[in-house]
């Protein structure tokens, strides 16, 4: 159990929740989060934990950036400071640590920005591209850690697309997170420009256990099935089956 | 001294707590979280003769106090299990249960024979092997157009009979709650020489994605598990326990020590924990220590004192 | 203009939302909370030929996302219903469904005949009467030692056939989810002249009071209802809808507009609301207005556009 | 929905919760209370509402005195000021209004004191007997409204019994609430002393609807079945079947 330090709406229906404690985890990894009303009272609805990427970490806290999309996240948003959460993790492979000589871009669409903050803290030189359909969020957090304000590029509104403003030829490695359609568009752009960029994508799939035991999060890859929670959530664009990724 | 030991067809389990098939993999992942040797037993992911990649599309949906899954028996196949997983399961120290599925009769029989032969060989070489075989008769029969084997007693009889003939490994038959007559089904298993029955597997269930106007699962129906089903599963375990003289392993929605006690009072020799492993990754260890604590508090020295008391 | 009208055997309902038997009394109590004329229909508490005082001991237990009940058909009997409750139900303005139970074949038949004759008389006198008769075949057959009538298709056939012969009131047969083969059961009802089927009644289930070391209910088993059962009930409604040409009334755990839409997409002509009436005393009115709002938002003009779409 | 004003532990595991609003209700009536985590999020576990007697009422609040005995009450105890509850009521018949000339006693055992405060506010002259197995609670609330401190009698501890100190011959009417055993002991005492006291008891039974529709709360009376939620919870000792009352 972990105590909530803050739970703030940073944009309509988008929250940052901070939980006390020293929590392990690397960029691109996630936690399984469950709301138990009170220690010792077993509440069976909602039943399953929800996967949320690590958004930020400090010596005495961990933070998640989440959007209210259903019952679990709505419940999460209803919690106040001092209440408790069940956190398990960190799980998943996370984003790769590449050689400092590589030129890296981080590309996020919507909630896809969540895991990129930790990546930006690691890749301080990386260019950052973030796109929002409606309101933006988390942008200041990126700005605070960047060495140069020129590093961050933002699109906003339904008629612009973050992929349009990324020139993959400038980067040897791109790490991206966002809707499956956006990720595929980025992969297609790399291909059509004959760029030699290596694209890593963070994928999503419904999960039950989060640790690799239940096989409910399997996706098809060129090497056979892979578990998003264990071999993923980060895969290279080359290995995934885009059709399969569009199913939740 | 309280004793939790329980006995399934001559196999002694440290305690009656078994991790259910398909919810515990081959134990590797949970083994990173706690010491598996404290468990009574571990049932492997459902195995089939050949590797299976499982179902496409959505594989899990949450329901009120339950979940539906449509994993579709994704598994590495028996050969790979024997080569890559069995040693690890044996090393865990818990009793090893191999759960066997199949899409048609021959697949079951050939699979059971393969596990059996390999285990005989291991034993001749002084190695520990599979302790118990759990026959999952809930699989859809692909040759008969997808009807579940476990629904009709006489259809199921054929599988139990033929599998029984090819193996000396103690045999548990795992029953489907979708059986037309679960007591008749269980009784058939006893008649055909099964050493135990386990129940229940998941309930055939449906969830519709109203936005997409189609089933949430590509296979239309999927299997319901978790606390939601416990009252029905417990009734079935009680009915079957009353009718059989071989041991009954009860499961369905167990999420607390009290739930386990209910199953044992209903007549179960042992219990299996499925979905709760997902809700609480430390379910196994917490339930084992919780059961000991409960027995001490209630001054129950052996579960035999309360087994089948209701 | 969106239209919610639905049709059951020639009886037009204002909307497909019916309050389920045993959860709405005869409408009196809910009638103090909201205007019942907005409802599609109301199914009466299960009636028997003679008054019944119901079961002793505990009658209700909460379960994960569900509840179990063992009311045991407490009811004032058909004569008292006809004298004291029917006028009031008719006056509610909703379609009136009389739900009929029985402990043996003759009781069903005599009861159906009595309701039928009394209603014929009322109609000759120009009074509105029972619109639909819902035959609850889930009752335990006391003559056959308590086995449920609704489990075996051929046993149930006899009741449906004989009741059909004694009444011209449009006949709904309410199916038990404990039926061995619910599709065969439903098909039998169609063959025997039922005008519709409704499903599901409660699931046979168990809860053990571990402190007392006995079942929480004096009858050992009790009936499970509520959100917990919805995924299984929905699957059954889907299966039955696919097999029948008469209308199917779906129920089991409905607690939201989305739940109703799932049932309708699975093929239900109408739905019934049971346990949710307890959780939200204004369930009826909220679901009626919610369904209208949903249809307007989704630009669905008639439920026929989505009925059975899955 | 109703907002919580306060929720205070007044004795180990015993709480008083105050909810804002003008709520109807008379002495001995009850409300059905359900904890919905947040407006609009349907949580199905726990499913049913819990019956709680009205403990106190004011112009802008209603109060319930409750003991944590299971999941529902534990959840209730975990709620904080500002959170919301679903309240339906008032339900049940409540305590009778008898002629001012009658000599009235109110007898409560344990949580049975909950509905008596409102009764004491009505029967200002009544003698009050309250017994507790362990810690006492709510006693000051009674003291505050009494005209004479001699009116209240308290027993505390497992070896004393509130029934022992009530002399029913002094009263023409007794209204009592508490464990079935205590109520029956009081009835027996009245009989054995040949007192002509009329005993009203407030009974408990598990409930689903609370309004008289489901028949899960039926008890046997000399006049046939009665619904605790509708014809009750207050019955005369003469009409109930003690055996049946001991089942929950
Ligand atoms: C590895 C990973 C990391 C994620 N990181 C974040 C993050 O940092 N911020 C964020 O806002 N969201 C993130 N998501 C998505 C987030 O898990 C879902 O939005 C959330 O589970 C929805 O829960 P709900 O109860 O509100 O929705 P409901 O629709 O009520 O949930 C019902 C069930 O479906 C599952 N589900 C629904 N949508 C998703 C989804 N998109 N992905 C996975 N499961 C889903 C739920 O977990 C639950 O089991 C991540 C998903 C994955 C797989
Ligand atoms: C008319 C009436 C008035 C009551 N007034 C009060 C009061 O003022 N203060 C107070 O502390 N308690 C009161 N009770 C008892 C209170 O309702 C239960 O303690 C409470 O429902 C227990 O809920 P739980 O979830 O904590 O327990 P659990 O045991 O987890 O509840 C499981 C189910 O059993 C029911 N249940 C369990 N115990 C009782 C019980 N004693 N009576 C009725 N239902 C029960 C619950 O409502 C629930 O449906 C009253 C009961 C009735 C019938
Ligand atoms: C994700 C998942 C996968 C499962 N796979 C199998 C399987 O391969 N073989 C099998 O016999 N049962 C399988 N089951 C059924 C469980 O072993 C168990 O019978 C069922 O889930 C009921 O128990 P529970 O309510 O505790 O989960 C699976 C269940 C789940 C949830
Ligand atoms: C307390 C209670 C009493 C019931 N009594 C009857 C009855 O008399 N006759 C009947 O056909 N069904 C009866 N039912 C079953 C319901 O009508 C309905 O079929 C069942 O509860 C499933 O729907 P639900 O999950 O929406 O409650 C009863 C259900 C409950 C909960
Ligand atoms: S969520 Fe269980 S294997 Fe990935
Ligand atoms: S609680 Fe439903 S009738 Fe009393």
The per-residue pLDDT for range D45-86, each reduced to its tens digit, is 999 999 999 999 999 999 999 999 999 999 999 888 998 899
Q: Report which protein residue has its CA nearest ligand 4's atom 5.
A: C22
**Res A171: pLDDT:** 97
**Res B144: pLDDT:** 76
Q: How would you class D194 by CB atoms within 10 Å of its CB: exposed for 0-12, middle for 13-18, buried for 19 or more?
A: exposed
Distance CA B49, CA C14 (A): 56
Q: How confident is the model at residue A40 (pLDDT cuts 50, 70, 90)?
A: confident
**Residues with a CB atom less than 6 Å from ligand 6:** D 207-210, 212-217, 227, 229
Chain B CB contacts of D41 under 8 Å are none
pLDDT above 70: residue A220? yes
- Mention every residue, 6+ apart, whose C-beta is less than 8 A from residue C65: A44, A45, B64, B65, B66, B227, B228, C226, C227, C228, D44, D45, D47
Distance CA D22, CA B227 (A): 39
For tokens 């739900």, what's the residue? C99
**Residues with a CB atom less than 6 Å from ligand 5:** A 207-210, 212-217, 227, 229
Taking each helix axis from N to C end, the angle separating C230-243 and C257-265, rounded to the nearest 10 degrees, works out to 30
For D242, which DSSP code? H
How many Cα atoms sit within 13 Å of C310 on the Cβ side? 30
- Mention every residue, 6+ apart, whose C-beta is less than 8 A from residue A178: A107, A108, A109, A110, A111, A112, A131, A162
The dihedral through the CA atoms of D210, D212, D213, D218 has a sign that is positive
Note whether C278 contacts D: Cβ–Cβ < 8 A: yes
User: Which residue among C173, C223, C234 is best mutated to probe the pocket of ligand 4, counting the most ligand atoms within 8 A of its Cβ?
Assistant: C223
D221 annotated ligand binder: no
For tokens 């409930």, what's the residue? D207
Q: Are A237 and A248 in contact (CB under 8 A)?
A: no
Mark out the alpha helices in chain D (DSSP H runs): 71-77, 116-122, 139-145, 180-192, 242-245
Which atom of ligand 4 is least distant from the CA of C21?
A: 17
Average the pLDDT over C156-163 and give the result.
96
pLDDT above 90: residue A237? yes
Query: In Å, how far from its chain's centre is CA A84?
Result: 23
**Res A115: pLDDT:** 98
Q: Are B16 and B269 in contact (CB under 8 A)?
A: yes
pLDDT above 80: residue D172? yes
Distance CA C97, CA D215 (A): 19
Specify whether the backbone of B304 is left (phi greater than 0), alpha (psi in -120 to 50) or beta: alpha
pLDDT above 70: residue C160? yes
**Res C144: pLDDT:** 76
Instruction: Map C116-148 to HEC letters.
Output: HHHHHHHHHCCCCCCCEEEEECCCECHHHCCCE
Distance CA B39, CA B31 (A): 11
Note whether B25 contacts A: Cβ–Cβ < 8 A: yes
Distance CA C155, CA C150 (A): 8
Q: How would you class B184 by CB atoms within 10 Å of its CB: exposed for 0-12, middle for 13-18, buried for 19 or more?
A: middle
Chain B CB contacts of A220 under 8 Å are 53, 56
- The predicted-structure confidence for D228-243, as pLDDT tens digits, reads as follows 999 999 999 999 999 8
* Shortest CA gap D102–chain B (Å): 50
User: Which residue among D46, D49, D72, D114 is best mutated to probe the pocket of ligand 2, counting the most ligand atoms within 8 A of its Cβ?
Assistant: D72
**Taking Cα atoms as reference points, which of D117, D128, D172, D131 lies closest to residue D150?**
D128
Q: Are D34 and D82 in contact (CB under 8 A)?
A: no
**Res C148: pLDDT:** 84
Q: Which two tokens stand for residue D184?
A: 């029956």
Q: Which two tokens stand for residue D168?
A: 């029913």
Can C139 be counted among the known catalytic residues? Answer: yes
Distance CA A192, CA D49 (A): 61
Which atom of ligand 2 is least distant from the CA of D48?
A: 49
Q: Are B172 and B133 in contact (CB under 8 A)?
A: yes
Q: What percent of chain A has pLDDT over 90?
A: 87
Note whether A211 contacts B: Cβ–Cβ < 8 A: yes
A198-202 and A173-177 as β-strands: parallel, antiparallel, unpaired?
parallel
For tokens 């092997």, what's the residue? B129
**What's phi and psi for A111, nearest 5 deg?**
-60, -15
Chain C CB contacts of A45 under 8 Å are 64-65, 227
A 10 A CB-CB count for A15 gives 20
How many Cα atoms sit within 13 Å of D7 on the Cβ side? 19
Q: Are C186 and C243 in contact (CB under 8 A)?
A: yes
C171-174 and C132-136 as β-strands: parallel, antiparallel, unpaired?
parallel
For C244, which DSSP code? -
Average the pLDDT over A26-30 and give the result.
98
Q: Residues for chain A: how many in total?
A: 248
**What's phi and psi for A27, nearest 5 deg?**
-55, 135
At CA B250, angle to CA B245 and CA B254, rounded to 5? Answer: 160
**Taking Cα atoms as reference points, which of B101, B94, B104 lies closest to residue B27?**
B94
Feature table: binding site of B for FMN: 21, 45-46, 99, 136, 174, 200, 226, 252-253, 274-275
Local confidence pLDDT in tens for the 310 residues of chain B: 788 999 999 999 999 999 999 999 999 999 999 999 999 999 999 999 999 999 999 999 999 999 999 999 999 999 999 999 999 999 999 999 999 999 999 999 999 999 999 999 999 999 999 999 999 998 877 777 777 899 999 999 999 999 999 999 999 999 999 999 999 999 999 999 999 999 999 999 999 999 999 999 999 999 999 999 999 999 999 999 999 999 999 999 999 999 999 999 999 999 999 999 999 999 999 999 999 999 999 999 999 999 999 9
Q: Are B55 and B72 in contact (CB under 8 A)?
A: yes
Indicate if ipTM > 0.95. Answer: yes
Q: Which two tokens stand for residue A194?
A: 């004959």
B196-199 and B171-174 as β-strands: parallel, antiparallel, unpaired?
parallel
pLDDT above 80: residue D248? no
**Res A37: pLDDT:** 59
Q: What percent of chain C has pLDDT over 70?
A: 100
Q: Which two tokens stand for residue B248?
A: 């009954």
At CA D167, angle to CA D162 and CA D172, rounded to 5? Answer: 115
**Res D38: pLDDT:** 63
Chain C CB contacts of A44 under 8 Å are 64-65
**Taking Cα atoms as reference points, which of B303, B188, B270 lies closest to residue B8?**
B270
Distance CA B125, CA B127 (A): 6
A217 annotated ligand binder: yes
Q: Which two tokens stand for residue A7?
A: 């739970």
Distance CA B194, CA B191 (A): 7
For D39, which DSSP code? T
Note whether A74 contacts D: Cβ–Cβ < 8 A: yes
* Shortest CA gap B65–chain D (Å): 7
A224-227 and A218-221 as β-strands: parallel, antiparallel, unpaired?
antiparallel
Distance CA B68, CA A214 (A): 12
- Mention every residue, 6+ apart, whose C-beta is less than 8 A from residue B298: none
Q: Are B208 and B183 in contact (CB under 8 A)?
A: no
The torsion defined by the Cα of A102, A103, A104 and A107, in degrees rounded to 10, comes to: -150
| Residue of chain C nearest D210, judged by CA positions | C278
Which atom of ligand 3 is least distant from the CA of A208?
A: 1
Q: Which two tokens stand for residue B70?
A: 């449509």
Q: Which two tokens stand for residue B269?
A: 């020799």
Specify whether the backbone of D50 is left (phi greater than 0), alpha (psi in -120 to 50) or beta: beta
Helix or strand or coil: residue A4? Answer: strand
**Taking Cα atoms as reference points, which of B89, B23, B80, B84 lies closest to residue B47?**
B80
Q: Which of B6, B119, B139, B189 is catalytic?
A: B139
Q: Which two tokens stand for residue D217?
A: 């709360």
**Res A41: pLDDT:** 81
- The predicted-structure confidence for C5-60, as pLDDT tens digits, reads as follows 999 999 999 999 999 999 999 999 999 999 999 999 999 999 999 999 999 999 99
At CA B75, angle to CA B69 and CA B78, rounded to 5? Answer: 140
Between the alpha carbon of residue D200 and those of residues B197, B216, D98, D194, the distances in Å are: 54, 56, 11, 17
**Res B141: pLDDT:** 76
Distance CA B78, CA B51 (A): 7
Q: Are D106 and D33 in contact (CB under 8 A)?
A: no
Q: How confident is the model at residue A38 (pLDDT cuts 50, 70, 90)?
A: low
How many Cα atoms sit within 13 Å of B45 on the Cβ side? 29
**Res B196: pLDDT:** 98
Q: Which two tokens stand for residue B264?
A: 């044992």
Average the pLDDT over A77-93 and give the result.
93
For tokens 């930020």, what's the residue? A56
Lowest mean pLDDT, pick from A154-158, C162-166, D94-98: A154-158
Chain A, window 23-82: residues with a beta carbon less than 8 angstroms from a chain B beta carbon: 32, 34, 42, 44-49
Distance CA B103, CA D21 (A): 62
Q: List strands edge to edge, sheet with C221-225.
A: C60-63, C66-69, C221-225, C203-206
Distance CA B52, CA C51 (A): 59
């Amino acid at each position: 159990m972990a105590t909530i330090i803050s739970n703030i709406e940073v944009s309509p229906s988008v929250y940052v929740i901070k939980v006390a404690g020293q929590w392990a985890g690397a960029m691109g990894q996630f936690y399984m989060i469950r709301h138990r009303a009170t220690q010792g009272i077993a509440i069976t609805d909602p039943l399953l934990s929800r996967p949320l990427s690590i958004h930020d970490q400090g010596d005495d806290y961990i933070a998640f950036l989440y959007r209210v999309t259903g019952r679990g996240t709505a419940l999460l948003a209803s919690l106040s400071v001092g209440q408790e959460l069940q956190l398990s993790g960190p799980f998943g492979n996370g984003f790769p640590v590449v050689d400092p000589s590589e030129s890296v871009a981080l590309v996020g669409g919507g909630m896809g920005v969540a895991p990129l903050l930790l990546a930006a803290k690691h890749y301080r030189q990386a260019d950052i591209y973030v796109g929002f359909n409606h309101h933006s969020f988390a942008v200041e957090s990126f700005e605070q850690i960047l060495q140069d304000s020129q590093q961050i590029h933002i699109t906003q509104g339904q008629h612009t697309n973050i992929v349009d403003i990324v020139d993959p030829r400038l980067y040897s490695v791109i790490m991206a997170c966002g809707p499956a359609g956006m990720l595929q568009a980025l992969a297609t752009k790399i291909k059509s420009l004959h760029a030699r960029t290596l694209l890593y994508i963070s994928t999503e799939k419904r999960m039950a256990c989060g640790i690799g035991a239940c096989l409910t999060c399997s996706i098809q890859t060129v090497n056979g099935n892979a578990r998003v929670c264990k071999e993923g959530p980060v895969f290279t664009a080359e290995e995934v089956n885009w059709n399969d990724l569009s199913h939740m | 001294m309280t004793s939790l030991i329980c006995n399934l067809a001559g196999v002694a389990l440290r305690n009656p707590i078994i991790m259910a098939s398909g919810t515990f993999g081959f134990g590797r992942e949970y083994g990173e979280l706690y010491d598996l040797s404290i468990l009574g037993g571990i049932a492997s992911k459902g195995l089939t003769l050949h590797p299976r990649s499982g179902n496409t599309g959505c594989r899990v949906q949450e329901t009120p106090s339950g979940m539906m899954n449509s994993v579709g028996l994704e598994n590495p196949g028996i050969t790979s299990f024997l080569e890559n997983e069995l040693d690890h399961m044996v090393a865990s120290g818990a009793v090893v249960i191999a759960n066997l599925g199949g899409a048609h009769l021959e697949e079951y029989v050939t699979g059971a024979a393969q596990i059996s032969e390999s285990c005989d060989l291991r034993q001749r070489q002084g190695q520990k092997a599979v302790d118990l075989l759990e026959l999952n008769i809930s699989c859809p029969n692909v040759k008969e157009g997808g009807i579940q084997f476990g629904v009709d007693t006489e259809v199921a009889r054929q599988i139990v009979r033929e599998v029984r003939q090819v193996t000396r490994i103690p045999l548990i038959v795992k029953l489907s709650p979708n059986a037309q007559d679960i007591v008749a089904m269980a009784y058939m298993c006893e008649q055909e020489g099964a050493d135990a029955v386990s129940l229940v597997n998941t309930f055939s269930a449906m969830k519709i994605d109203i936005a997409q106007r189609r089933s949430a699962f590509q296979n239309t129906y999927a299997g319901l598990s978790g606390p939601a089903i416990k009252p029905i599963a417990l009734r079935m375990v009680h009915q079957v326990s009353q009718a059989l003289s071989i041991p009954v392993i009860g499961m369905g929605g167990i999420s607390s020590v009290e739930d386990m006690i209910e199953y044992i009072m209903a007549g179960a020799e042992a219990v299996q924990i499925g979905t709760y492993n997902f809700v609480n990754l430390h379910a196994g260890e917490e339930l084992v220590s919780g059961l000991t604590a409960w027995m001490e508090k209630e001054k129950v020295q052996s579960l035999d004192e309360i087994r089948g008391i209701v």
